[in-house]
Amino acid sequence: MHTVGFERGVSWRWWVCGVLLLATLLNYMDRQALPQTATELKQRHGLSDTRYGLVERNFSWAFAIGSILFGYLADRFGPRLLYPLVLAGWSLAGLATPLLAQESWTAILADPDDPSSGAFRWLLICRTALGLFEAGHWPCALITVRLILSGRDRPLGNGILQSGASLGAVLIPLYVLGIRHLGGDWPVVFWTIGAAGLLWVPLWLTLVRAADLRSVPPSASVDELGSGGDRPESDGPVSAGRWILPLVCLGIIVCCLNVSWQFLRAWLPKYLKESEGFSADAADVAVAGYYIAADIGCLLSGAVVRLLTARGWELTAARRLGFVLFAGLTLLAAATRWSGGGWAAVVLLWLAGAGILGLHPYYYALVQELPQRFLGLGSGLLAAIAWFLAGAVQQHLGRHIDTTGSYDLGLAIAGLAPLLATAAVIWLWRPPRSAR
């Protein structure tokens, strides 16, 4: 076992969490640049809903492969140098995306009878590369949180980490809106965000030294250890049998959460503009509101666990109650078809977004119960399963929306899927450590 070597102060740990939040923010700004501009690309470059679904499928499947690849590399080499490598990779993919507007660049990829296919295929290549490298963010970030925070602090640390997703998603529609009103076009969105991502690399290398990530978290209190929250694990043999049920449970949870979240992430701007008739400006404001609500839900979910455990709740019971509460909010996504549309539907989706993203810190906290040596690869494998499923769902829903013009099926899936995850948490999850 590594020796405890936290010569850094408590404030440093939370500064690192802030840098992780920034990385997640950049991750999501790069990712959401396409959904925010997809309607314009549909009008100018022939990006139909079916093609958009294929792009999202490739992104998801590349993310799945990257989850396994970078999960293994994070376990093998640690996040200190791997993290800036993957962040630079996805930033460069974002920088290259606007080349799809250059016919001289994409002509070699185009079918003679379909000039728009060249732009589509270039976009497919860039988004596949983006998905591959973006996957490396999560094993690197999860291992970092595991190494610098105790079990009791990890739900809040995970909440800060995950909140960067919604912060980035809040900023991107407002950023697109601002560029539009300043006379800029969609390519500006991609290359400026990609360039900003490259500036994160020296920040990480300056703040985090190699020795900082070679130690275990500070010792937890006796009460916390008694709740199964932060008991150091032995470097001895790991019994495979006692991990089968927790892994099945985690697989169900992450698949349900990912399918739910990814549908709204990818299709919400198009739903508002193309189905509900929102103007581009109104849709940008509504999408920003959605992610503000999601961010609030994400932070509240971690605070709920801290509040309950401070009042004497056992850690697992506190997580289960929080999961039930936030899963209840997600049901509102399925209710939008009866809302009458417009801003009433938007409000329901705001509340559902708070629920869906609020469930993620609970999942990450459960994943961090995996043995230290398998955390990167284990979380990567679980994410890969979820992303392969999400990619298949995105492709199917793209064809469905292209054919019917209706988003009801996707919204129903988004609202109902977390209920299955809730059932898994309640009836399947058991803390795998000996001390519970």
Q: What pLDDT is stored for residue 384 in this prediction?
A: 87
Task: Find the angle CA(17)-CA(23)-CA(25) to the nearest 5 degrees.
Answer: 105
Per-residue pLDDT of the chain (436 residues; tens, 9 = 90+): 343 334 566 788 888 999 999 999 999 899 999 999 999 998 888 889 999 999 999 999 999 999 889 988 988 888 999 999 999 999 999 999 999 988 888 888 888 888 788 899 999 999 999 999 999 998 899 888 888 887 777 778 877 887 787 788 889 999 999 999 999 999 999 999 999 999 999 999 999 887 777 655 554 443 443 444 444 444 455 555 577 888 899 999 999 999 999 999 999 999 999 999 999 999 999 999 998 998 899 889 988 988 999 999 998 899 999 999 999 999 999 999 999 989 999 999 999 999 999 999 899 888 878 776 666 677 778 888 999 999 999 999 999 999 999 999 999 999 999 999 999 999 998 766 543 4
Query: Do residues 349 and 264 lie in contact, with contact meaning Cβ atoms separated by under 8 Å?
Result: yes
Identify the architecture of domain 14-223+239-427 in CATH. Answer: Up-down Bundle (1.20)
d(CA 410, CA 337): 11
CA distances from 363 to 63, 72, 293, 421 (A): 18, 20, 19, 10
Handedness of CA 118, 265, 18, 83 (dihedral sign): negative
Q: What pLDDT is stored for residue 8 in this prediction?
A: 67
d(CA 179, CA 337): 32
d(CA 83, CA 138): 9
Q: What pLDDT is stored for residue 57 in this prediction?
A: 96
Residues forming beta bridges with residue 111, ordered by sequence position: 114
* Long-range Cβ contacts of 231-236 (<8 Å, 24+ apart): 231/151, 231/433, 231/434, 231/435, 232/1, 233/371, 233/372, 233/433, 234/1, 235/1, 235/373
Residues forming beta bridges with residue 114, ordered by sequence position: 111
Q: What pLDDT is stored for residue 434 in this prediction?
A: 42
d(CA 46, CA 48): 6
* DSSP codes of every residue in 215-236: SPPPPPPHHHHHTTS-PPPPSS
